[in-house]
Amino acid sequence: MDQLINADVVLYGILSLIILENALEIYISSRQVKVYKTTQTVPKELENVMNEETFHKARLYGLDREQFGIFKAILMDVMLLTLELYFGFIAFLWSKAELLAIRLTLDPSSEIIVSCLFLAIVSSISMVKDMPFKVYKTFVLEEKHGFNKQTARFFVIDQIKGFLVSQVISTPIVAAIIFIVQRGGEHFFIWLWLFTGIVSLVLLTIHPIFIAPLFDKYTPLEDGPLRESIENLAASLKFPLTKLYVVDGSKRSAHSNAYFYGLWGSKRIVLFDTLLLNKGKKDDSELKEEERGKGCTDEEVLAVLGHELGHWKLGHVTKNIVIIQVHLLLMFATFGYLFQYGPFYEAVGFEAGQRPILVGLLVVMTYVMAPYNALINFGMTMLSRKFEYEADAFAQKLGFSELLSKALIKLNLDNLGFPVYDWLYSSWNHSHPTLLQRMDRLKEIEEASKKTN
Ligand SMILES: [Zn+2]
């Protein structure tokens, strides 16, 4: 009897947390919706580079995206999820996984087998649930604003590939996790932590080599002045650059960027083709009409890389990995402490005594720890903005201040980024400071450094 009451308390607790968190998110988004609706003039700092037409295009694009996000959150994250939890959908799917095991003449009493089947069922269902939103976002929303470059065929193949690859990777990982929890003894959470740490390092290493090329085409950047100047910049910073690729990201979407990856002494840099429209050209007068003003000049690409290499030189990636590992250890320890508590399982529809490990992980780590996760996310977002400022300051020291500002403006215009944000929305959601904040800061440190010189 006590257990039953506790299960109700857990269920209503989880539902309240879900509703509270989404209400907060939706409130914050609606503040930005208001900004999109009421901001009618280009900010002074951008008057020379952003015309009225682009400004309003960006405004309407932002508005569409934000309203779509709110609609999806209300429908999926609040209504559907609440119903699923309330009516014990998770336990229902678990019983289907057991039946499926019998059908496939596998052992339904093996928790590892049932967990893998459960995972396959849950991911198939969530793929189906997400599909209408993905289709709408890609072929209606992004299409309307000129960003979608995917054909229906590319989209379907891409989705199927994505689903299969994630199943192939996650199934053995889930099986190993169940095994570790079952056999790991009292301090299994330490083994679990070591295991996920090693798996993420392995995935980080093989992802760019074996997985990413399944989805996009990576071609080495051709020899020429741009390649030479990037190699010189990398060499001057002792960045162990081994490969330099261009990815045809424009096939997926016209949003452009650059990044580096790789562990230890072997790093690769990837440039998006959309970044390079102006490659080798003095100015953009040689471009096609619709491409004019888009992409960066060689010098601007170099400034962007100055910023990226700043992330490397300042150890931002390593710092992030360390923080995430500490966070994971805390999560697993909490899980180890709480996961045998029966009401967590009864709350989501299981009978007393039935406590699947995978369900425990889901309930404890996503629902019970939701407030902690939200705080960590917020902290990580703040830290990420700090890192962005630091990488900008690094690029400034290399002499890229003005070029980086120019590149940031161009990237922002190419992506139809809206320059005005509600402060709360921005501090909650943005991993990067806004364009204006970054331009301001760059100008500030540039002037301060001129004074001291
Ligand atoms: Zn950055």
In sequence order, what DSSP letters do the residues of 350-373 get, joined into one string?
PPTT---HHHHHHIIIIIITHHHH
Q: Cα(427) to centroid of ligand 1, in Å?
A: 16
> Cβ distance 414 to 254 under 8 Å?
yes
**C-alpha–C-alpha distance, residues 90 and 99, integer Å:** 14
> Cβ distance 203 to 173 under 8 Å?
no
Q: Which of 149, 411, 405, 436 is nearest to 294 (CA)?
A: 411
Distances (CA, A) of 194 to 75, 100, 326, 357: 38, 32, 11, 18
Residue by residue, pLDDT tens for the chain (453 residues) are 466 679 999 999 999 999 999 999 999 999 999 999 999 999 998 998 899 999 999 999 999 999 999 999 999 999 999 999 999 999 999 999 999 999 999 999 999 999 999 999 999 999 999 999 999 999 999 999 988 888 999 999 999 999 999 999 999 999 999 999 999 999 999 999 999 999 998 998 888 888 988 988 999 999 999 999 999 999 999 999 999 999 987 666 656 688 888 777 778 899 998 888 766 555 556 656 656 667 888 999 999 999 999 999 999 999 999 999 999 999 999 999 999 999 999 999 999 999 999 999 999 999 999 999 999 999 999 999 999 999 999 999 999 999 999 999 988 888 889 999 999 999 999 999 999 999 999 999 999 988 887
pLDDT at 235: 96
Report residues near ion ligand 1: CB below 5 Å.
388, 391
How many other CB atoms are found less than 10 A from the CB of residue 56?
13
pLDDT at 256: 60
**Pair of tokens at residue 40:** 């009618």
**C-alpha–C-alpha distance, residues 446 and 170, integer Å:** 47
Q: Which of 297, 301, 367 is nearest to 331 (CA)?
A: 367
**C-alpha–C-alpha distance, residues 321 and 177, integer Å:** 20
**Pair of tokens at residue 88:** 């014990």
Beta bridge partners of 243: 268
Q: Cα(1) to centroid of ligand 1, in Å?
A: 55
Q: Cα(216) to centroid of ligand 1, in Å?
A: 22
Sheet holding 218-220, edge to edge: 218-220, 241-247, 267-272, 258-261
Q: Cα(205) to centroid of ligand 1, in Å?
A: 21
Contacts of 83 (CB under 8 A, 6+ apart): 89
Nearest-5° angle of CA 425, CA 40, CA 441? 50
Q: Cα(154) to centroid of ligand 1, in Å?
A: 30
For residue 88, report the phi and psi dihedrals to the nearest 5 degrees: 70, 40
Q: Cα(308) to centroid of ligand 1, in Å?
A: 6
Catalytic residue annotation: 308
3-state secondary structure of 48: coil
For residue 260, report the phi and psi dihedrals to the nearest 5 degrees: -125, 160
Distances (CA, A) of 51 to 24, 39, 41, 62: 34, 14, 10, 17
**C-alpha–C-alpha distance, residues 443 and 436, integer Å:** 11
Contacts of 51 (CB under 8 A, 6+ apart): 42
